[in-house]
Structure 1
Amino acid sequence: MKQKIFMYLFVFSILLVLFQYVNSKRVFEDMNHKLDGYKAQLTRSKDSIAVLQNENLELSHFNLERNEDAISYFENKGYNVSELIPMIKDELYKLNEGKGEHPIIPYGSEEGRRMMINTVKLLNHKWIIADFSDGQFWGELFLTYEITEEKELKFTLAESFLYPLN
């Protein structure tokens, strides 16, 4: 009797070990499969990041904040560029607050609306592009700017256009 019990225990132990082996092998293969999927996803993500970084670098080429020559121009004149850039944008946006027609935008608006500058991008130490709108009409400006000896900011309209209504 004792021998049969040991034999049943031995067979049960072997079946239990075999079940655990098969189950752990299946879990291990499933984890390896998931890991391969994650590795492929990581590779695709790294490639996408590299493409986006190159695109960002290309798009930021005409940008005062990345233009070392323009930054050096202002630094040689004694300006702090991190304070100067927001100040130039703020001065341009302040022109939106005046009464009557906008002093820089050469187009009038209809129905009591007012043309206002929406977005400003400083290209370098001399040029700005901006877009404007009155809610119905919109367009873009190409401006030049300079800081005078009296530390005053002076904007000059170089080019502008108004998009036609469809």
Structure 2
Amino acid sequence: MKHKIYLYLFIFVSLIALYQFVSTNNMVKAKNTKIESQEEKLSQLEDSIQKLHIKVLDNQYFSLENNDDALAYYDHLNLKDPSLYISDKLLETNESKGDNPLIPYEGMENDFKINKINILNHKWILADFSDGKYWGEVLIKYELKDDLGVDFSLMDHLLYTRSN
């Protein structure tokens, strides 16, 4: 009788060990599959990040912040961030009552005001304007003077037409 109990105990322990081995093996395979899929996703994300980085660099090409030659014009003024200073001065033109004086159109829904600004270099600004419903863009020539005054003059403009 004692011999049979040991035999059954041995068979029972063997079955538990076999179950543990198969279960662990399946779990390891599942984890390896998941790791491989995550590595694929990571590779795709790294490619996407690299493409976006190149696109950002291309978009920053025409930007005062990244143009050392244009920034050299402002070295003597001791401005920490000339782009921010010029943007602020341009946005101050929005504070006048009515339409912005640099926009040659009358607002149809509200007053036309400048929204977004891209300072291209030490002479030109590209800006977006809108009245809430209609919008357009202006190309502005500017001059930052030694007394930190800024003169703006309109070079060209366009107003987008709505197509309904």
Give the TM-score normalised by the residue count of structure 2.
0.91
Residues 94-141 of structure 1: CA distance to partner in whole angstroms, max 9, x if unpaired?
Answer: 111112443211122346x32211111111111100011223332111
Equivalent residue for 1:97, pick from 57, 73, 95: 95
Q: Which residue of 2 aligns with 1:20?
A: 20
List, as ranges, runs of 4+ consecutive aligned residues in structure 1 with deviation greater than 4 Å.
none
Q: Which residue of 1 aligns with 2:128?
A: 131
- Identity of counterpart residues, as a percentage? 38
Residues 45-104 of structure 1: CA distance to partner in whole angstroms, max 9, x if unpaired?
Answer: 1111111111111111111111122222212x233242x322211111111111244321
What is the alpha-carbon distance in structure 1 between the residues aligned to residue 44 and residue 162 of structure 2?
42
- 3-state SS of paired residue (1:132): strand
What is the alpha-carbon distance in structure 2 between the residues aligned to residue 136 and residue 37 of structure 1?
46
Q: Which residue of 1 aligns with 2:53?
A: 53
> For the Cα contact (< 8 Å) 1:74–1:81, is it kept in 2?
no
What is the alpha-carbon distance in structure 2 between the residues aligned to residue 114 and residue 15 of structure 1?
82
RMSD, matched Cα: 1.6
Q: 1:137 to 1:10 in 2, by over 3 A?
A: closer
Aligned amino acid, residue 49 of structure 2: I
Q: How many residues align?
A: 163
Q: For structure 1, which segment, 12-21 or 92-101, has the greater mean C-alpha deviation from structure 2 after superposition?
A: 92-101
> For the Cα contact (< 8 Å) 1:119–1:132, is it kept in 2?
yes
Give the TM-score normalised by the residue count of structure 1.
0.90
